[in-house]
Amino acid sequence: MRELGDELVFDLKENHVGVSGTILGAVIIDTQPFSPSVPKALRTIAPRRGKGVTTYAP
């Protein structure tokens, strides 16, 4: 899609950003288990905030 000039945009809900817990040592991020060695800086995505902004685009 990007090669054709389109931009991918993902709608992230509030419960999809950041760590929501752990299971047997795995860190749960965006409802999926990840290794606890995932850097803390990559564990949380801060969605853009502003008037009319409802989606996150990297």
pLDDT digits (tens, 9 = 90+) for 10-34: 666 666 677 888 999 999 988 889 9
pTM for the model: 0.53
How confident is the model at residue 20, as a pLDDT? 85
How confident is the model at residue 32, as a pLDDT? 87
**C-alpha angle 18/21/22, rounded to 5°?**
125
What is the strand order of the sheet 26-29 is part of?
A: 19-23, 26-29, 32-34
How confident is the model at residue 11, as a pLDDT? 65
How confident is the model at residue 52, as a pLDDT? 67
Say if residues 29 and 43 touch (Cβ distance below 8 Å). Answer: yes
Domain ranges for the chain: 2-38
